[in-house]
Amino acid sequence: MKPAFEEAWRTLRGTEQQAKAKDVYDIRKSELEPAPRRITYRNTHTAQQFSPEGRIVAP
């Protein structure tokens, strides 16, 4: 994807569409990247699971 974007970026140099092309590239790149893995922590004393943010996610 990057080589195609670089070619389009050079073609659009000096035009108003260059900024829009960067926005589209960033959106597509984020869609292709894997989602962050969700990690939960278990409190063995209370058997509650917590998210990395500290919220209870399971009783």
Whether residue 9 is predicted with pLDDT greater than 70 in this model: the reply is yes
The chain-wide mean pLDDT, for the chain, equals 76
| Beta carbons of 40 and 58 less than 8 angstroms apart | yes
Instruction: Work out how many domains the chain is built from and give that number.
Output: 1
User: What is the predicted pLDDT for the residue at 10?
Assistant: 87
Q: What is the mean pLDDT of residues 49-56?
A: 70
Band the pLDDT of 42: cuts 50, 70, 90: low
pTM (2 decimals)?
Answer: 0.47
Phi, psi of 15 (to 5 degrees): -110, 165
The H-assigned helical ranges of the chain are 2-11, 17-32
User: What is the predicted pLDDT for the residue at 34?
Assistant: 79
Q: What is the mean pLDDT of residues 26-50?
A: 71
Q: Which two tokens stand for residue 25?
A: 């590239």
Domain extent at residue 35:
1-59
